[in-house]
Amino acid sequence: GEDVEQSLFLSVREGDSSVINCTYTDSSSTYLYWYKQEPGAGLQLLTYIFSNMDMKQDQRLTVLLNKKDKHLSLRIADTQTGDSAIYFCAESRPGGYNKLIFGAGTRLAVHP
Amino acid sequence: EAGVAQSPRYKIIEKRQSVAFWCNPISGHATLYWYQQILGQGPKLLIQFQNNGVVDDSQLPKDRFSAERLKGVDSTLKIQPAKLEDSAVYLCASSLTQGGGWETQYFGPGTRLLVL
């Protein structure tokens, strides 16, 4: 099927690390993305990873890709209250016109 | 650089009425996308334009939804007649070219539609 699956909710304490997980469906997907959506706003691209990479680090963000298991994760170090948002995983499939297939999103709540 | 603009931000209509949404992409972006985001779900692509031509409308309910992108810049998405299940946020995005999967799509703030 077309489903990209994510857990719906994650709660962390401020200063801790957050790990958001995603399982995608198409092993031929070329790029995998993490988008952030704050209330009332559009989606903001956080980071992406090419399918031939295992890991990508960008400041507080670390993306891990397990292509064998079709599993993607986003780790946010030193999570802050401003990180509270919905995080969407998305896959881009080859042969199409940059079409993105999104998961349902993980709501991250950061508490003091 | 100005972002993707959308209007209106909110719209409430009754079922069977018509509604139109407008999108102005980032200047110079050739590709424009309309997504539907139902509450609790991720965005779903409705239609994709490359300049003023349609390259993917496989998930657009063509019996009631239509979209156009005249002159390859602004775009409008119309629903006629609306159904209760059309209640959602309609997101417009644009990207520089058709590009490969690495190309960033920039999203507007969305239009929140409520059909009563």
Residue contact B91–A48, C-beta within 8 A: no
What is the per-residue pLDDT for B98?
65
Residues in B touching A44 (Cβ below 8 Å): 107
Residue contact A92–B101, C-beta within 8 A: yes
- Whole-number percent of chain B with pLDDT over 70: 95
Query: Quick one: which of B66, B94, B79, B95 has its CA closest to B16?
Result: B79
Compute CA distances A98 → A57, B6, B53, B93, B101, whole Å: 23, 22, 15, 12, 5
Asked whether residue B42 carries a pLDDT value surpassing 80, the answer given is yes
Contacts of A12 (CB under 8 A, 6+ apart): A18, A79, A108, A109, A110, A111
The full DSSP string for A25-72 is S-TT--EEEEEEE-TT--EEEEEEEETT-SEEEETTEEEEEETTTTEE
Asked whether residue A2 carries a pLDDT value surpassing 80, the answer given is no
Q: Mean pLDDT, to the nearest integer, of A60-74?
A: 94
Residue A11 and residue A109 in contact, taking contact as beta carbons nearer than 8 Å: yes
pLDDT digits (tens, 9 = 90+) for B59-86: 999 999 999 998 889 999 999 999 999 9
Q: Mean pLDDT, to the nearest integer, of B95-99?
A: 75
**Average confidence score pLDDT of chain B:** 92
Q: What is the dihedral of CA B24, A95, A44, B70, to 10 degrees?
A: 0
Which of A86-95, B42-51, B74-83, B97-106 comes out lowest in average pLDDT?
Answer: B97-106
Question: pLDDT higher for B39 or B99?
Answer: B39
State the Cα angle at A51 between A50 and A55, rounded to 5°. 70
CB pairs under 8 A between A and B: 65
Query: Quick one: which of A93, A99, A97 has its CA closest to B55?
Result: A97
What is the per-residue pLDDT for A1?
45
Q: Is A39 exposed, middle or buried (0-12, 13-18, 19+ CB in 10 A)?
A: exposed
- Please give the DSSP secondary-structure letter assigned to residue B85: G
Which of A73-77, B31-35, B48-52 comes out lowest in average pLDDT?
Answer: B48-52
What is the per-residue pLDDT for B102?
66
Shortest alpha-carbon distance between residue A15 and chain B (Å): 27
Residue contact B31–A97, C-beta within 8 A: yes
Shortest alpha-carbon distance between residue A66 and chain B (Å): 19
pLDDT digits (tens, 9 = 90+) for A19-43: 999 999 877 777 899 999 998 888 9
Shortest alpha-carbon distance between residue A7 and chain B (Å): 12
